[in-house]
Structure 1
Amino acid sequence: MNNKLISIALTGLLSSTIATSAYGADLSITGRIQAEYSGINIEGFSSQTSVNDPTFFSSWGLRVFEDLGSGFKAVTMIDFGFNTNGGPIGSREMYVGISKDSIGTLKFGRTHSPFADFAGGWTIDPFVYTTLQATGSGGTMIASANGLGSGSFTAVNSVVRFDSATFNGFSFAALLMPGNANTLEANLGGILGGQGPTKGNTGGKDGEWDVQFAAKYAMEIQDHKLEIFSGYSRDNVSSAQKKIMAVNLKTEEVVRIGGAWSYKNFRLQGQYDFISNALGAATCSDAAALGEIGNESTRQCNTAMNPGGDGSIWFASGQYRIGNATLVAQGGMTDANNTDIFASRKAKSFTVGALYDLSKRTNLFGGYQHVNVIDKNSTVDRDRDTWTVGIRHLF
């Protein structure tokens, strides 16, 4: 059955390529695949190792451009994620839009958020989509739901997004999720974990109007390159969330500032987020979920805030490139303030490792990460140590 489905899919792809070429559109098949040999040691439990793609990096998709004349193009993206161990396929970006180089790109459908791929987010984490990534597992950066899906591998349903062209170094991106839209798909159908009554219910639903805006400025002077960015995210509390009487949920607001500076082979980058009235509080990365034993909760979800609570997250990274190799040292801290129900939590992390380019498409990576947990909700703070070596290929 699987072989038949694969044959049908390949036949469809070839047929689509011929059809679109006949109409003058430019269709390309894109994808990437990754596997890691990783180990995680959670305090109080035996170490666990695996060979797979635990952060759901691997994906394949279709990208289409059509010349509409006068400098305008139609753009379409369909992307599906998968696990190299044969896990379920999850939807990523699926949108249609119009672009013009001198103006920007307008998208309709399911897209990543500006906090994820435009201003900071995974753009400043060299280990994103590995078990060493900052999202979730390191207690740094915002988890999948806080900030309208600003964590790795997330996408937001039923949105309109505009990315501007760059004007004298300035550019911006804005996202709108209309009221009564579909719930935010922040966990790809549960792959990224999450728990509690607020799971998956962090998008436009029951009258919400959610928005996110980010801007950045980039400049280059001789061998110095500087980029600064900031953003604002507003996730309005819905009537469904207001019915959760145990937690006094209010509209979530996130403010972000950050930047990056590079000089020749050296680069520094980081960001700071302040979260008020967190709604998407119970999500964590799949890498962070590694090591869950039976019914014992060992997940490292300290990147997220307490439900309905405030807090801050900062992240900093330094890199140095030698030939084809990039050496990395980075870390950060999450500070989740206490609420009427939950006590305060903190997580401090540091990560060291390296990436090596075998070619423009194939990359090796590896390293070590330690997370120190200070959780006043638990009788035992379960710190964790993670190591990994892996390989990825883009096609």
Structure 2
Amino acid sequence: MKKKLIALGVAGALAAPLIATAQGTHVTIFGRLQAEYSTVHINGNGAQTGILDDAAQSRWGLQVAEDLGMGLRAMGRVEFSFNPGSGRSDSAREQWVGLGSDQWGELKFGRVQSPFKDFAGGHTIDPFAYTSLHANGSGGLMTASQNGLGSGDNSFVNSAARYDSPVVEGFSMSALLMPGDARKLDPSRANAGSAAFTPGVLDPLASGNPFQNSGGEDGEWDFQIAGKYSQQFDALGVNIFGGYSRDNVSNRMKSLGGVIDDEEIWRGGALISFADLRVRGQYEAINNANPLGGAATCTTAAAFGNAAGSLTLDGRGQCNSAMNANGDGWLWIAGADYTIGNTMLIVQGGMATAQSIGALAKKDIENITAGVIHSLSRRSSLFGGYQRVWVKDRNLAAVGLDADRNVYSVGLRHDF
């Protein structure tokens, strides 16, 4: 009996510092589990069906907050993704530390999301974001830039500082700054000297260490700024947003040769709701699509396959939102949804055009999507629908890769 009491006393003594350290700090475990039974059929390829989370939305993480007094709080977030159905653990997601205040907003440092993704339009106006029916990437109606070089619209931006303002009379803003000369490697990419590296992959950033960084040696200072106005007038809700993204090229990028200019993306749109009906639209104009991680490429999740290529060997991957390298283009999406009880009915569509430049011919993409999301609870939902993408890529037609796309999907999601 004495031995048991001694053991309990020692355990309590060891645990005491941990409890003291944790005092005043709140740690929340959060995550998402998602799987879809989806069929992707690209003309000229066999239909590919799987029970997976190819949109890479399953994740787990820790949210940390500490009250510092005087209205100030310390914050932190660590998040990792995985893919149910494949047994694969993919990569790091958000990883940052920051300070926040109700008076002046929040400031984060580290690996963060882009304001174009979660603040002004983008995934915030697409009900099927984070599913195989999404509007960006393979859907072709929104930019889906790769990670680490500029906007990171569908992914995360390394080595960045992000500021989100408080809401004042319905107005708010968000800004992202990614300093140049950042030599930190992107943990989601395989080092060319490692066993995980796959030679021949059509990813210009995976060709070796010199190009696997956020800004590059002698890099410029990439940034993004966005603002919005949100207000509720009785049954009428108004959300108007706009933003600007600039991906400056570095000397290291220029050393690759060819014409590589600074990339600019202008975005504007609105979401209007009246009772249970919502209508939305977004327009993006792109100048000088950066071929190294900018609007001329897609993330792997957005393309459902190889990030830089148009098709993968499994017949699921396409990057329909990509502009021609160093060229201009535009994308737009419009849609509506109507909620009946716990069920949301959705229809949306749009178009993307990549203008011709040099030897690269014009590319046009059109899309229509219809589906439903049914909430089982506040945290669990069922979703499904159909998406048709018409592809007219004159660059790929000659080699038989200019292929329309059909997607049928039903999935289950649980947030915790």
TM-score (norm. length: structure 1):
0.89
Partner of 1:241: 253
Partner of residue 368 from structure 2, selected from 350, 373, 389: 350
Which amino acid is 2:177 matched to?
A: L
For the residue of structure 2 that corresponds to 1:228, the secondary structure is strand
For the residue of structure 1 that corresponds to 2:150, the secondary structure is helix
Equivalence map 1:175-194=2 (5 Å) = 175-182=176-183, 185=186, 188-189=188-189
Partner of 2:414: 393
Partner of 1:151: 153
Partner of 1:382: 403
1:23 and 2:41 are equivalent in the alignment:
no
For the residue of structure 1 that corresponds to 2:224, the secondary structure is strand
Using the alignment, how far apart are the partners of 1:63 and 1:20 within structure 2?
A: 19
Mapped contact 1:131–1:386 kept (Cα < 8 A) = yes
For the residue of structure 1 that corresponds to 2:137, the secondary structure is coil
For the residue of structure 2 that corresponds to 1:148, the secondary structure is coil
Partner of 2:262: 251
Equivalence map 1:271-350=2 (5 Å) = 271-279=282-290, 280=294, 281-286=296-301, 288-289=303-304, 299-350=317-368
Partner of residue 197 from structure 1, selected from 199, 204, 208: 204
| Pair 1:352–1:182, CA change in 2 (3 A) | farther
Partner of 2:228: 216
| Pair 1:19–1:233, CA change in 2 (3 A) | farther
Q: What is the CA distance between 1:112 and its match in structure 2? A: 0.2
Mapped contact 1:351–1:367 kept (Cα < 8 A) = yes
For the residue of structure 1 that corresponds to 2:359, the secondary structure is coil
Partner of 1:167: 168
For the residue of structure 2 that corresponds to 1:303, the secondary structure is coil
Partner of 2:33: 33
Partner of 1:79: 79
RMSD (Å) for aligned C-alpha atoms? 2.6
Partner of 1:61: 61
| Pair 1:143–1:333, CA change in 2 (3 A) | same
| Pair 1:47–1:394, CA change in 2 (3 A) | same
For the residue of structure 1 that corresponds to 2:89, the secondary structure is coil
1:225 and 2:237 are equivalent in the alignment:
yes
Mapped contact 1:216–1:227 kept (Cα < 8 A) = yes
Equivalence map 1:83-94=2 (5 Å) = 83-84=83-84, 85-94=86-95
Mapped contact 2:45–2:315 kept (Cα < 8 A) = no
For the residue of structure 1 that corresponds to 2:124, the secondary structure is helix
| Pair 1:384–1:340, CA change in 2 (3 A) | same
More moved, 176-185 vs 370-379: 176-185
Mapped contact 2:150–2:178 kept (Cα < 8 A) = no
Deviations 1:109-164 (A, max 9, x none): 11001111100111111001110001111111001339834433x11011111000
| Pair 1:196–1:57, CA change in 2 (3 A) | closer
Deviations 1:61-103 (A, max 9, x none): 0001100000000010001111112112311111111101121
1:127 and 2:128 are equivalent in the alignment:
yes
Q: What is the CA distance between 1:23 and its match in structure 2? A: 2.4
Deviations 1:329-376 (A, max 9, x none): 011111011111311111100000000000001010000000000011
| Pair 1:21–1:128, CA change in 2 (3 A) | farther
Q: What is the CA distance between 1:392 and its match in structure 2? A: 0.5
Larger Rg: 2
Q: What is the CA distance between 1:24 and its match in structure 2? A: 1.3
| Pair 1:372–1:221, CA change in 2 (3 A) | same
Q: What is the CA distance between 1:197 and its match in structure 2? A: 2.8
For the residue of structure 2 that corresponds to 1:189, the secondary structure is coil
Equivalent pairs, count: 377
TM-score (norm. length: structure 2):
0.85
For the residue of structure 2 that corresponds to 1:127, the secondary structure is coil
Mapped contact 1:94–1:111 kept (Cα < 8 A) = yes
Mapped contact 2:54–2:304 kept (Cα < 8 A) = no
| Pair 1:103–1:122, CA change in 2 (3 A) | same
Mapped contact 1:119–1:230 kept (Cα < 8 A) = yes
Deviations 1:192-214 (A, max 9, x none): x9834356768422222101000
Q: What is the CA distance between 1:307 and its match in structure 2? A: 1.1
Using the alignment, how far apart are the partners of 1:336 and 1:394 within structure 2?
A: 37
Which amino acid is 1:148 matched to?
A: G
For the residue of structure 2 that corresponds to 1:250, the secondary structure is coil
Which amino acid is 2:150 matched to?
A: L
More moved, 193-202 vs 118-127: 193-202
Which amino acid is 2:297 matched to?
A: A
1:372 and 2:373 are equivalent in the alignment:
no
| Pair 1:93–1:21, CA change in 2 (3 A) | same
Q: What is the CA distance between 1:241 and its match in structure 2? A: 1.4
For the residue of structure 1 that corresponds to 2:167, the secondary structure is coil
Using the alignment, how far apart are the partners of 2:347 and 2:254 within structure 1?
A: 42
Using the alignment, how far apart are the partners of 1:221 and 1:258 within structure 2?
A: 19
Partner of 1:263: 274
Which amino acid is 1:232 matched to?
A: Y
Using the alignment, how far apart are the partners of 2:140 and 2:252 within structure 1?
A: 29
Q: Structure 2: 5+ residue runs without aligned partners?
A: 1-14, 191-195
Mapped contact 1:26–1:64 kept (Cα < 8 A) = yes
Mapped contact 1:142–1:150 kept (Cα < 8 A) = no
